[in-house]
Amino acid sequence: MNNFRHISLYDIRMFTQVLKEKFLIDFTEYASTYLRMRLENFMSKWNVSSLDSLLIRMQDNDILLNRLIEALSVETTEMFRDPSLWRKLYATYLPKINSSQINIWLPDITSDDELYTLLVVLDRLNLLDKTYILATSAYKVNLDRTKTGEISMKKYEVSNDNYKRYMQDNEASLDKYFVFSDNKAYFSQELIERVNYAVLDVLVRMPDRTFDLVLFRNRMLYYSLNLQNKILERIYPAIAKKRYLIVGFKENISRFAFSDHFKFDDKEDKIYKRVK
Amino acid sequence: MNRYILIGGSAGSFQSIVKILNQLPENYAPPVFLCLHRLKHVRGGFVEALSIKSKLKVVEPEDKDSILPGQVYLVPANYHMYLEVGNSIALSTEEAKNHSRPSIDLMFSSAAFSFREKVVGILLSGANKDGAEGMKDIKLYGGTTIIQDPKEAAVPVMPQAAKNTTEIDHVFTIDEIIDYLHTQNF
């Protein structure tokens, strides 16, 4: 580790390599700045002076390992982030999917926000019974966290504010989807149980069906460009033709080898339609 | 690139930034990065307002866009922006820092780490301490630190916080900042 208060990119590279080889956790091709900052915060929180020391402490310590995975898995901020997108899904895209079952996939889930938001929208549309929702992550700890339903009150308040914007109604409230206890908010277990969860690394294995909608917002931010393209190459065949991939407002798939298999259906909210 | 010009600001800084941009010539070489505290639900309008008299192109970048000389990059609403080794931009949805997303601290720190002595960090008027830690990192890595003179700033909290946190190379009025950006041989 160098003398500065930051860790070097070289140290990070070595660390992620050992993490992959020894602990089977792969962050080798993740974006460098967020990874460095998260590792520095983690080391500070756990009072670890170097990445080498962290590796030693993680041996036979699954709790610390899981905490590290959680620390490096960035949450997607809040429910109903980008309310305009969710209004479009509610008003147009979801009702338009004219099939006996709607199949939706959320790959590489790190937190609950997008999933809970989707569940609320589907509930309001009365579409839950005919929707198959798959939420996957390469790490069980991320799925376990999502299944608890727990969010902080601060996040709940921000989400509720977004919900009012989504509903375009200052009186609207997410309250009916939550129970509150010990200064925390817990999302409806009944809705959480409607989801199918699977530990799945898309680089190794894919779901066994195609999907009408793949919701993949603000995940690629944390991948290197190379990893982004590798994962898109795996995901895109799972999107049924004439169906949709949604990425984050400031993400794009233009550098992806098969980007010409998609065209914008909604450029403002980054809804791509698979055309080939 | 020889230099990366980073400008952070909040309450009371918008007109100053417009004035700075308006005075930069068409052939200004360094890229300029603006991190302004902004309403998270308002996606548009900022770039247009900044572009009115700017001779440089003002853009809101997307994730993994390349950093180009002479371009002005405005951090998009509700994202943080990092400047990465390899001259690319990385966006993030991580938690707010100093109640701010975008965070000036995070942009400044990332640039300091990536580009070291090539960074010029400029902190303008604002009502919280965002940017102070980032300026500390810029100084640590050998960059240049400039604050708007607190006596001139509409809200002096932000530049004063930076002054209280780290060594500041120049305390300038806006006109002096413009003059500095013009006369340095970047």
ipTM of the complex: 0.94
Ranges under pLDDT 70 in chain A: 1-5
- What pLDDT is stored for residue A5 in this prediction? 66
Question: Which DSSP helix (H) or strand (E) runs through A20?
Answer: helix A9-23
Helices (H), chain B: 14-23, 46-51, 104-115, 132-140, 157-165, 174-183
Find, among B60, B100, B59, B101, the residue nearest to B79 by Cα: B101
Q: CA–CA separation, B121 vs A159, rounded Å?
A: 34
Quick check: helix, strand or coil at residue A133? strand
A4 falls within a domain: no
Task: List, for residues A232-267, the tens digit of each pLDDT value.
Answer: 999 999 999 999 999 999 999 999 999 999 999 999
- Report chain A residues whose CB lies below 8 A from the CB of B92: 33-34, 74, 221-222
In this structure, which amino acid lies at residue A86? W
- Over the stretch B96-116, which tens digit does the pLDDT of each residue have? 998 899 999 999 999 999 999
**What are the chain B neighbours of A76 within 8 Å (beta carbons)?**
93
Question: If you measure CA to CA, which chain A residue comes closest to B86?
Answer: A32
To the nearest 10°, report the CA torsion of A71, A153, B79, B171: -100
On whether both A65 and A178 belong to a single domain, the answer is no
At residue A3, the pLDDT reads 43
| Surface of A (202-221) touching B: CB under 8 A | 218, 220-221
Helix (H) or strand (E) holding B121: strand B119-123
- Same domain, residue pair A25 and A112: no
Rounded Cα distance, B128 and B120, in Å: 21
A4 CB neighbours in chain B (<8 A) are: 140-141
Residues A94 and A62 in one domain: no
Q: Are B122 and B131 in contact (CB under 8 A)?
A: no
- Whether residue A266 lies inside any domain: the answer is yes
Q: Closest partner residue to B92 among A81, A221, A252, by Cβ?
A: A221
Q: Considering the domain boundaries, does residue A77 fall inside one?
A: no
Contacts of B154 (CB under 8 A, 6+ apart): B11, B12, B13, B125
Domain end: A72, A92, A107, which one?
A72
Q: What does the block give as tokens for A40?
A: 């520095």
Q: Is residue A49 domain-shared with residue A89, that is, in the same domain?
A: no
Q: What global pTM score does this model have?
A: 0.95
Q: Structural domain tally of chain A? A: 2
- A100 and A229 in a single domain? The answer is yes
Residue B90 has pLDDT above 50, yes or no: yes
What region, left, alpha or beta, does residue A265 occupy, with left being phi > 0 and alpha being psi -120 to 50 degrees? alpha
Task: Answer whether residue B74 shows pLDDT above 60.
Answer: yes
Same domain, A201 and A132: yes
Residues of chain A neighbouring B33 (CB-CB closer than 8 A): none
Q: Hey, is B180 helix, strand or coil?
A: helix
Question: Phi, psi (5° rounding) for residue B10?
Answer: -140, -130
- Tokens standing for residue A128: 């839950």
A1 domain-assigned: no
DSSP string, A91-126: IIIHHH--SSSEEEEE-S--SSHHHHHHHHHHHHTT
Q: In a 3-state reduction of DSSP, which class is residue A58?
A: helix
DSSP A89: I
* CA-to-CA separations, B74 to A197, B17, B71, B113, B141, in angstroms, rounded: 38, 11, 10, 20, 23
Q: Identify the pLDDT of residue A180.
A: 97
Which of residues A28, A46, A72 is at a domain's end?
Answer: A72
Say if residue A17 is in the same domain as residue A142: no
3-class DSSP assignment, residue B32: strand
Does B22 score more than 70 pLDDT? yes
Q: Cβ distance B38 to B77 under 8 Å?
A: yes
Active site residues of B: 10, 37, 130
Residues written for chain A: 276
How many domains are there within chain B? 1
Place of tokens 């817990």: A186
Which residues in chain B have Cβ-Cβ distances shorter than 8 Å to A36? 113
The model's pLDDT over B46-69, given as tens digits with 9 standing for 90+, comes to 999 999 989 999 999 999 999 999
| Assigned token pair, A256 | 């992806």
Do the Cβ atoms of A249 and B64 come within 8 Å? no
pLDDT in tens, B119-161: 999 999 999 999 999 999 999 999 999 999 999 999 999 999 9
What pLDDT is attached to residue B178?
A: 97
Question: Does one domain contain both A201 and A247?
Answer: yes
Mean pLDDT, chain B, integer: 95
Given a contact cutoff of 8 angstroms between Cβ atoms, the answer to whether A182 and A174 are in contact is no
| CATH of residue B137 | 3.40.50.180
Contact B95 A250 (CB under 8 A): no
A-interface mutation test, from B66, B80, B81, B91, most A Cβ less than 10 A away: B91
Strands B170-172 and B144-148: parallel
Supply the CATH number for residue A238's domain.
3.40.50.150
Which residue of chain A has the CA closest to B142?
Answer: A4
Q: Is B183 left (phi over 0), alpha (psi -120 to 50) or beta?
A: alpha
Same domain, A66 and A104: no
Q: Indicate yes or no: CB of A165 within 8 angstroms of CB of B113.
A: no
Shortest Cα distance, chain A CAs vs residue B21, angstroms: 24
Spatial contact of A136 and A109, defined as CB atoms under 8 Å apart:
yes
% residues pLDDT > 90 (chain B):
91
d(CA B31, CA A159): 35
User: Which tokens in the block code for residue A48?
Assistant: 């670890």
Q: Are residues A268 and A203 in the same domain?
A: yes
Which of these three, A72, A92, A126, is where a domain ends? A72
Nearest CA among B78, B88, B77 for reference residue B110: B88
Q: How far apart are CA A106 and CA A216, in angstroms?
A: 6
Residue in B62, B64, B83 nearest the CB of A225: B64
Mind listing the pLDDT tens digit for each residue in A96-114? 998 899 999 999 998 889 9
Whether the CB of A80 is below 8 Å from some CB of chain B: the reply is no
Side-chain half-sphere CA neighbours of B139 within 13 A = 19
Find out whether B182 and B170 touch, Cβ atoms under 8 Å.
no
Mean of pLDDT values over B16-31: 96
Rounded-to-integer distance, Cα A59 and Cα B100, Å: 37
Q: Are B97 and B106 in contact (CB under 8 A)?
A: yes
End-to-end CA distance of chain B: 9
Q: What's the pLDDT at A1?
A: 37
Are the C-beta atoms of A119 and A194 separated by less than 8 Å? yes
Range of A255's domain? 83-274
In which domain, by residue range, is B65 found? 4-183
- Residue A202 inside a domain? The answer is yes
Residue A274, number of CB atoms within 10 A of its CB:
21
Residue A241 lies in a domain: yes
The DSSP 8-state label assigned to residue B95 in this structure reads: P
pLDDT, residue B25, reads 94
Nearest residue, CB atoms, B63 vs list A36, A165, A251: A251
